[in-house]
Amino acid sequence: MSEQGAVRTGRYFMQGNEACAEGALAAGCRFFAGYPITPATEIAEHMAGRLPGVGGVFIQMEDEISSMASVIGASWTGVLSMTATSGPGISLMQENLGYAVATETPCVIVDVQRGGPSTGIPAVPFQGDMVQVRRGSHGEYEAVAFAPASAQEMFDLTILAFNTAERLRTPVFLLADAAVGHMREIVEIPAADSIERLRRTLPDAEADPYAIKGFLDPDVAPMPVFGRGHKAHVTGSCHDAYGMRNVVDAQALDTFVRVLAAKIRRRTRELAVIETGNTADAQVILVGYGLVGRAAQAISLQARAAGLPVGWIRPVTVWPFPDQELREHCAAARNVVIMENNLGQMAPYFQALLKDQLVWSLPPQILGTLHHPDYIMSHIEEMLK
Amino acid sequence: MNQIHHPMARYLRPGKEVTTSCPGCGEGIIAHSVLRAIDALGMDIDGFTFVCGIGCAGWIPSPYFAADTLHTTHGRPVAFATGVKLAMPDRQVMVISGDGDLTAIGGNHLIHAARRNLDITVLCVNNRIYGMTGGQVAPTTPASIRTTTTPSGNEEPAFDLCRLVEGAGATFVARWTTAHPRQLTRAISQALQHRGFAFLEVMSQCPVHYGKLSREGRATDSLDFFRNQAVRRNQAARMQPGELAERFVVGTLVGEEDIA
Ligand SMILES: Cc1ncc(C[n+]2csc(CCOP(=O)(O)OP(=O)(O)O)c2C)c(N)n1
Ligand code: SF4
Ligand SMILES: [Mg+2]
């Protein structure tokens, strides 16, 4: 495989979905399985064209259930693997998403969100899956998700998603939407040797296969990938550190759930990526993630220009919820406005976090569109009266 | 005193030599046949990845076989195996799972892997019922059989699994039963050597649920039934359609020459 061919260093006018695919290739992704769906299809199409040229594998599966399954199967051979879909496909992936969490399988799932519920509207941007990716699979677990706001971030955060997946041995979501996926912007692809590429740790090649503790370490166990004589036993059933099934002890379940959760929870701070502006003295803070975060920033700057004490926050990491950073940046503000392109999916998390402040949930006037500046400004003026 | 070792014990994980299958279950015979086939071919078990789904049959390789094992979600082992095989084409990938797992919830993955002629071996343990969940009807349950969810008898016809995968494009298809362990072992070796999608249906007894609910009887009664009702392909060709009702064809149905 050629690193040269995989990383297309240069400056491009590029679609967000294409930038995501290029980010995946630059990160080292060499397996893609998916099923066509608007507005994510361009990622699959781009990978179908590019992967064979870099020694990778592309397959269009029969549905999203099998896409997620084969991504996990490929990851267990040691290959960086991913899929990309939208709401209806995300619903179908929930079953094996839980399997990836339970078996500590690194992989990346791109959700280019569209209008829902159900078939909804395919090409209208929406942020309808924010909590589903967090809580959509059954049982108790932690999720990791990043929300890109630009074509450049589709590239950069896809690399971050792979690095995080590899480092923590867990599935990682890229939570885009139809607007970010379909927008065309300048994308800079850096030189191959300046891109950080993290890889899962592997057990010693000579290790006694029955002595490998390949699971359930809060500090992330080495992954006993297939084909190296590790005799790995991988199961979505409750298991111990050796991967051996235990479906009788509540104590084993307790350890299984707590260790998997701790692996992510302990790293909430280091996983937190958040952009802010003018929060120190702000009386009103506009919060938005994804493309809405850019609107929050623009409106906040417009308010500042009019002399109003307004700041903005754009959480790039949405899961694990970056609570400490958010609390710190919101400390001065009496009013915190959660702008979301949905009816307030993340707002309850902010309301629970900022109990002593006024937390407003503010959808756009028309769902599927960006918040109009005048609409937000009128709210800001009301709050500052 | 001399210790006596089972000749296949070296393929089992240390400390995992005791099966969780019920007494009389056909799964032990199948496990044995799989290991004997690998042994007879002189294959290295570390060259295998076993992939299984949820159900009693999924516990044939997991955790007993001393090899890489991916014990997946219910119905999805073929889909997981697709990723393993495509990313590691030089390895043997063998799916072992139940009839409900592979042909009800997982039926779509099965036919598409057959259509792709994916180079894996799929062994379907057909006990004609959902064993693990306690005896519910499966797509393989014969018509009129009583199960816990067909208390007045099954009103639906059963799938012919071999014809299903043949129609979907499988390039090796064989059916045997737990009453034919030698033929089964040879069919497994054939399947493992076959390049392309190989499907093995193994009729297997579930005395605890199927035997009881259908009144077929004990494990030995089911084995008698398999022995008596099995018809070789060449024999079947000479029989009238009416004579074949309630019987099933065994042997290699698609692929290289039938074996003796
Ligand atoms: C999605 C899902 N649905 C239902 C189940 C419950 N379940 C466990 S095993 C099984 C059926 C197993 O039947 P079969 O595949 O024939 O295997 P057997 O036990 O007969 O060997 C079912 C329905 C499950 N684990 N997952
Ligand atoms: S329930 Fe039936 S298939 Fe399952 S182990 Fe017992 S006898 Fe075998
Ligand atoms: Mg069954």
Cβ-based contacts of A100 with chain B (< 8 Å): none
Nearest chain B residue (CA) to A242: B63
Neighbours of ion ligand 3 (CB under 5 A): B 98-100, 127, 131
Which whole number is the average pLDDT over B208-217? 98
Cβ-based contacts of A230 with chain B (< 8 Å): 68
Contact B87 A59 (CB under 8 A): no
> Which residue has 């609409």 as its token pair?
A375
Query: A107-115 and B172-177 as β-strands: parallel, antiparallel, unpaired?
Result: unpaired
- pLDDT value of residue A238: 98
CB-hemisphere CA count at 13 Å for B164? 22
Nearest bound ligand to CA A237? 1
Instruction: Please say if the pLDDT value at position B248 is more than 60.
Output: yes
Q: Closest to B71 (Cβ–Cβ): which among A74, A231, A234?
A: A234
Instruction: Please say if the pLDDT value at position B259 is more than 80.
Output: no
Which whole number is the average pLDDT over B240-246? 85
Q: Closest to B83 (Cβ–Cβ): which among A69, A95, A244?
A: A69
Cα separation, B142 vs B25, in Å, equals: 19
- pLDDT value of residue B118: 98
Here the tokens at position B149 are 């969810």
Q: Tell me if B28 CB under 6 Å of ligand 2.
A: no
Q: The whole model's pTM is what?
A: 0.98
Q: A90 φ, ψ to 5°?
A: -60, -40
From residue A329, give the alpha-carbon distance in Å to each of A265, A284, A322.
20, 11, 11
- The answer for residues whose C-beta is within 8 angstroms of residue A119's C-beta and 6 or more apart is A88
- pLDDT value of residue A4: 63
Taking the CA of residue B135 and the nearest CA in chain A, the distance in Å comes to 21
Cα B92 to ligand 2 centroid, rounded to whole Å: 27
pLDDT category of residue B2 using cuts at 50, 70 and 90: confident
CA B175 distance to own-chain centroid: 9
CA A131 distance to own-chain centroid: 12
Q: What is the pLDDT of residues B74-106, one digit of tens each?
A: 999 999 999 999 999 999 999 999 999 999 999
Nearest chain A residue (CA) to B118: A59
Q: Closest to B69 (Cβ–Cβ): which among A63, A227, A234?
A: A234
Which whole number is the average pLDDT over A267-280? 98
Burial track A226-258 (b if 16+ CB lie within 10 A, e otherwise): bbbbbbbbbbbbbbeebbbbeeeeeebeebbee
Q: A190 φ, ψ to 5°?
A: -75, 175
Cβ-based contacts of A61 with chain B (< 8 Å): 79, 82, 112
Cβ-based contacts of A209 with chain B (< 8 Å): 66
Here the tokens at position A261 are 């959760």
Which whole number is the average pLDDT over A76-87? 98
Give CA torsion, residues A298, A299, A304, A306, to 10 deg.
120
Q: What is the pLDDT of residues A50-60, one digit of tens each?
A: 999 999 999 99
* Nearest residue to B61 via CA among B11, B131, B10, B135: B11
The ligand 2 atom nearest the CA atom of B56: 4
CA A359 distance to own-chain centroid: 25
- pLDDT value of residue B17: 82
pLDDT category of residue B1 using cuts at 50, 70 and 90: low
Cα separation, A118 vs A114, in Å, equals: 10
- pLDDT value of residue A1: 43
Q: Tell me if B55 CB under 6 Å of ligand 1.
A: yes
Compute the count of residue pairs across chains A and B with CB atoms less than 8 Å apart. Answer: 117
Which residues of A touch chain B, with CB atoms under 8 Å apart? 30-31, 33, 57, 59, 61-63, 65-66, 69-77, 79, 81, 95-96, 99, 209-210, 226-227, 229-237, 244-245
Which whole number is the average pLDDT over A281-292? 98
The ligand 2 atom nearest the CA atom of B209: 2
Contact A235 B62 (CB under 8 A): yes
Q: Tell me if B56 CB under 6 Å of ligand 1.
A: yes
Cα separation, A243 vs A237, in Å, equals: 9
Q: Tell me if B74 CB under 6 Å of ligand 1.
A: yes
* Nearest residue to A160 via CA among A145, A149, A179: A145
CA gyration radius, chain B: 17
Cβ-based contacts of B14 with chain A (< 8 Å): 210
Cβ-based contacts of A65 with chain B (< 8 Å): 76, 79, 109
Contact A81 B87 (CB under 8 A): yes
Which whole number is the average pLDDT over A145-174? 98
Q: How many helices (H) and strands (E) does chain A have?
A: 14, 16
Nearest bound ligand to CA B58? 1
- The residue whose CA is least distant from atom 6 of ligand 2 is B22
Here the tokens at position B90 are 């030089």
Cα separation, B245 vs A377, in Å, equals: 78
User: What one-character DSSP code corresponds to residue B102?
Assistant: I
- The answer for residues whose C-beta is within 8 angstroms of residue A20's C-beta and 6 or more apart is A43, A84, A110, A148, A154, A155, A158, A174, A176, A181
Cα separation, B33 vs B176, in Å, equals: 11
From residue A154, give the alpha-carbon distance in Å to each of A14, A41, A150, B150, B174.
10, 15, 6, 52, 49
Instruction: Please say if the pLDDT value at position B258 is more than 70.
Output: no
Q: Tell me if B27 CB under 6 Å of ligand 2.
A: yes
- pLDDT value of residue A349: 98
Q: Where are the alpha helices (DSSP H) in chain A?
A: 3-6, 16-27, 41-50, 64-75, 87-103, 132-135, 151-168, 178-182, 250-265, 268-271, 291-305, 323-330, 347-353, 373-384
User: What one-character DSSP code corresponds to residue B158?
Assistant: P
Largest Cα span, chain A:
70
CB-hemisphere CA count at 13 Å for A286? 33
Q: Tell me if B98 CB under 6 Å of ligand 1.
A: yes
Cβ-based contacts of A73 with chain B (< 8 Å): 51, 70, 79-85, 87
CB-hemisphere CA count at 13 Å for A71? 35
Domains and CATH numbers, chain A: 3-194 (3.40.50.970), 275-383 (3.40.50.920)
Contact A81 B83 (CB under 8 A): yes
Cα B256 to ligand 1 centroid, rounded to whole Å: 33
